[in-house]
Amino acid sequence: MFDPFIEAWQLRDLVMKGELRPREVAEFYLTRIERLNPELGAYMTVTADRALADAARLEASRADAAAMGLYGIAYSLKDLTPTAGIRTTLGSRNYADSFPAQDAVIAQRLQKAGGILLGKTATPEFGGRPTTEGGLCPTARNPWNRDYNAGGSSGGAAAAVAAGLGPLAEGSDGGGSIRGPASNCGVVGLKPSRGRITYAPHRGEAWGGYATRGPIARSVRGVAMMLDAIAGPAIGDPYYAPPPSRPFEEAVRVAPKNLRLGSIATSKLGEVDTEVAAAFESACATMRELGHRVEEISLDPGAMLVECTRILICVGIAAIPVTNTDWIDPVVREMYEVGRKVSGADYVNLVATMHNIARAIVELLDPYDALLTPTMTRPAVRNNSFPSTPACYLDELWTWIAFEYPFNATGQPAVTIPAGFSSAGLPIGCQIVGRPNGEFDLLALAAAFEAARPWLHLRPPLLED
């Protein structure tokens, strides 16, 4: 009927022109999910009835289609995001039968924008791993090689997009959980600025301000489209990012000139894989070819923040009510048990420490229009290989995500874009970090890189179509 790897805007155009019906979109992806998901583990819950109901509603309201930015586009929500009447397990046996009474505001916005909900994507328990495995959800396998993991904690979301099981996916990122899986799976993932996307109505913030929700797509434009649909505060939010002067989707048509870009290629927390280092240097070379100045910075923000981050994220995990701690994945339980021992006073002081270090990092980066880093220190890992043991998790975690979590602390927007492949055929990502609240300029730079280094023609070799 149509290419399963179709871009979101192309799909919207076909539906707007009447060349595709919303129901045809829903049925196409539901059929593809039924065929491929048992091997990939991208979806925890497939919402076939809801997808068909969304499609019927859109066909009945075609007169309003022009006002819907995602009219007829299929999407998924991560299984950490509350959905009214739809099972939301948090990847945990403790929430295996949880059916929230209320939608998250982001879920409401995607429906209002004209999207078609295909289902809830797999996550490790409580979003607590950089791989999607070990909890209630299925193992999210990497579409480029199913012996390897898609990453975490938005592994199901990234795998779904990479495998053509829907053009857009919502993820969440408390220390790299959008960017890591997107990098592993060869797609684009954006961690927006702190406060850009509301957590209403269920909470004001997550993980002490580290976590945010955000979009995953195969292209920069797809990410920008989804961001336009979900961005903005809800009444009563504790903080929020200022609105852009124009839609984020317009950023892909802006070609930034003569930028000063910082570059951080190493961290003492973990050795950077040689193939990742080579891909990153190639990405920097492309930025120079685009006319930008790239300067190496002597800064290790991961090392600056690792001690307070370790505790703050553990407290975020421990704050989730559970009925039976024995049911928790042993790896995530390591974090849960550490977090339960932290006093309220110590937590408040750690948040203050985090903010002070983050301020210093943002100040040091202020002379630069954007920062370039590898997304992760190495490509995707084999399923069930990380960590080496549950007891080693809180030591080994930072060696892989050293370039990601610092920008959860600073609240800066950060995007991962495909930058190459390992010799094993696994995708490698490059991270671009923008100025605070600078998503528009960040997306413009990412789109220029995408145009210089096209990747949308690349498809996972293990998928039969």
Per-residue tokens: 423: 């010799």
- Average pLDDT of the chain, as a whole number: 97
Average pLDDT over residues 169-195: 98
pLDDT (mean) for 118-139: 98
Q: For residue range 86-101, list pLDDT tens digits in order.
A: 999 999 999 999 999 9
pLDDT for the residue 284 = 98
Total domains present in the chain = 1
Query: What does the CA dihedral 358, 360, 363, 368 come to, rounded to 10 degrees?
Result: -70
- Note whether residue 462 is domain-resident: no
Q: Is pLDDT above 80 for 464?
A: no
Q: With H, G, I as helix, E, B as strand and everything else as coil, classify residue 1.
A: coil
The pLDDT value recorded for residue 150 is 98
Phi, psi angle pair for 335, to nearest 5°: -70, -45
Mean pLDDT value of segment 392-398: 98
Q: Is 371 strand, coil or helix?
A: strand
Considering 92, 154, 172, 177, which one is annotated as catalytic?
Answer: 177
Cross-strand pairs, 215: 170
330-341 tens-digit pLDDT: 999 999 999 999
Handedness of CA 23, 24, 28, 29 (dihedral sign): negative
User: Three-state DSSP class for 19?
Assistant: coil
Does pLDDT of 365 surpass 60? yes
Mean pLDDT of 111-133: 98
CA distances from 429 to 136, 151, 219, 225 (A): 28, 13, 13, 21
Within-domain flag for 379: yes
On whether the CB atoms of residues 156 and 140 are closer than 8 A, the answer is: yes
Which CATH number is 56's domain given? Answer: 3.90.1300.10
Q: Is the pLDDT of residue 373 over 70?
A: yes
Residue 248's pLDDT band (boundaries 50, 70, 90)? very high
Res. 462: pLDDT tops 90: no
pLDDT, tens digit, 9 for 90 and up, residues 35-69: 999 999 999 999 999 999 999 999 999 888 999 99
Tell me whether residue 423 is one of the annotated catalytic residues: no
Encode pLDDT of 339-352 as tens digits: 999 999 999 999 99
Say yes or no to pLDDT of 112 above 60: yes
pTM score, whole prediction = 0.98
Alpha carbon distance 180, 192 (integer Å)? 14
258-275 pLDDT, tens digit per residue, is 999 999 999 999 999 999
C-alpha distances (whole Å) from 185 to each of 147, 201, 442, 446 are 13, 31, 21, 17
pLDDT higher than threshold 60 for residue 465:
no
Are 154 and 216 spatial neighbours (Cβ–Cβ below 8 Å)?
A: yes
pLDDT of residue 461: 87
Instruction: Give the tens place of pLDDT for each residue, 80-89.
Output: 999 999 999 9
Q: Is residue 93 part of a domain?
A: yes
Structure confidence by residue, pLDDT tens digits, 201-211: 999 999 999 99
Give 104's Cβ-side CA count (13 Å radius).
25
Residue 238 lies in a domain: yes
Confidence (pLDDT) at 1 = 81
SS (H, E, C) 36-104: HHHHHCCEEEECHHHHHHHHHHHHHCHHHHHHCCCCCCEEEEECCCCCCCCCCCCCCHHHCCCCCCCCC
Residue 19 lies in a domain: yes
pLDDT tens for each residue of 139-153 = 999 999 999 999 999
Q: Report yes or no on 217 lying in a domain.
A: yes
Residue 63: predicted pLDDT:
86
Cβ neighbors of 392 (< 8 A, separation 6 or more) are: none
Active site residue 385: no
Peptide bond preceding 387 in cis form (omega within 30 of 0): yes
For residue 369, give the DSSP letter: S
> Is 78 among the residues known to form the active site?
yes
Residues 21 and 186: their CA atoms lie apart, in Å, by: 29
Q: Please pick, among 92, 153, 183, 267, the residue that the annotation labels catalytic.
A: 153
| Residues paired with residue 415 on neighbouring β-strands, in sequence order | 190, 432
Which listed residue (76, 78, 183, 422) is catalytic? 78
Judge whether 433 and 414 are in contact, CB under 8 Å.
Answer: yes
Amino acid at 402: A
- The tokens for 52 are 């068909």
Instruction: Determine the pLDDT at residue 463.
Output: 67
Residue 460 in any domain: the answer is no
Residue 445 lies in a domain: yes
Domain extent at residue 186: 8-452
* Rounded-to-integer distance, Cα 456 and Cα 126, Å: 32
Mean pLDDT value of segment 296-308? 97
Q: pLDDT digits over 12-24, tens only?
A: 999 999 999 999 9
